[in-house]
Amino acid sequence: MVKNWYKALESIKPLIFKIKTPDGYGTGFQIFYSKNQPMCGIATAYHVIDHADEWEESIKIIHEKSGKYVVLKEDDRVIFPYPEKDLAFILFNKSLLPLEPKNPKLINPNRILKQGVEIGWCGFPSIAYGKLCFFAGHVSCCLENEDYYLVDGVAINGVSGGPAFYIDPKTEDIKICGVISAYRPNRVYGEVHPGLSKVCSVEPYQKDLKSFRTKDAAAAKAKEEKEKRVKEGEPEKAIDDLKPKEKGD
């Protein structure tokens, strides 16, 4: 099968969002759309919105395809984070933006992509003045205990939170397999050399998607988890921040 990354990207574009906060921006993508409830969910990297979440700041969500946007204040959204995995949901009313009335196809939670499998990803790198850009690379390895892949491709500031996807060789379906989290350069003898990108697994999303059927239920669960983290102490995030400041946009 000859991979057609142009068509793959075109199928993903309607799901893409730019996420702006008072201290920077990143990328997000639609991962959940409820047909029976007025709720939708955008996935991103937690470090893209962690400051806004902690300080209850506004978050601006811009739909790439339509150019429409919404500014979500604290009462307008629910943020359900996984700080230790650098993942997060942003849940809000689906009527606020022209979303795709369907859920994207995700990798089977029991499947791990093999070394050498080609994947693509996209996001808004600061060096491209906020334009949506496409990237591609191959799976270098999967660190199963950490739930993430290392990929031989770049992830520039602003791409954090973007979807990583692949073309299923059997069905030719485009499936999301992870979320861009960080770029790990090779710092040999203090010098910076090309490294690998970190792609977090979407498995936590798949486990919880079915339970977040109402905004109130999600808010209650998010509050419970937040209180638990505060009590136990926030986990350290061992990531290289790829969220540029707003002036870089």
pLDDT interval class at 51 (50, 70, 90): very high
Pick from 107, 102, 157: which is nearest to 133 by CA? 157
Residue 72: pLDDT over 70: yes
CATH 3.90.1150.10 fits 118-201, yes or no: no
Residue in the block written with tokens 């008072």:
22
Residue in the block written with tokens 């990207």:
9
Q: Which residue has the higher pLDDT, 9 or 226?
A: 9
Pick from 26, 29, 35, 25: which is nearest to 11 by CA? 29
Per-residue pLDDT tens over the stretch 181-231: 999 888 877 777 788 999 999 877 777 776 776 777 778 878 887 777 777
Per-residue pLDDT, 246? 59
Q: How far apart are CA 138 and CA 62, in angstroms?
A: 29
Residue 235: pLDDT over 70: no
Per-residue pLDDT tens over the stretch 119-177: 999 999 999 988 999 999 999 999 988 889 999 999 999 999 999 999 999 999 999 99
Q: What mean pLDDT do residues 28-47 have? A: 92
Intrachain domains 15-103+204-243 and 118-201 with the same fold: yes
Give the mean pLDDT of the chain. 88
What are the angstrom distances between the C-alpha of 242 and each of 56, 181, 182, 190, 248?
21, 8, 6, 20, 12
Q: How far apart are CA 90 and CA 167, in angstroms?
A: 26
Q: Where are the domains of the chain?
A: 15-103+204-243, 118-201
Report whether 136 contacts 119 (CB < 8 A): yes
Residue 247: pLDDT over 60: no
Report whether 27 contacts 19 (CB < 8 A): yes
Q: Which residue has the higher pLDDT, 84 or 44?
A: 44
Q: How does 74-89 read in b/e, with b if 16+ C-beta sit within 10 Å?
A: eeebbbbbbbbbbbbb
Rg of the chain over Cα atoms, rounded to whole angstroms, equals 17
CATH 2.40.10.10 fits 15-103+204-243, yes or no: yes
DSSP code string of 165-215: EEE-TTT--EEEEEEEEEEEEEEETTEEEEEEEEEEESHHHHHHHTT--SH
pTM > 0.85: yes or no: yes
- Contacts of residue 217, Cβ cutoff 8 Å, sequence gap at least 6: 211
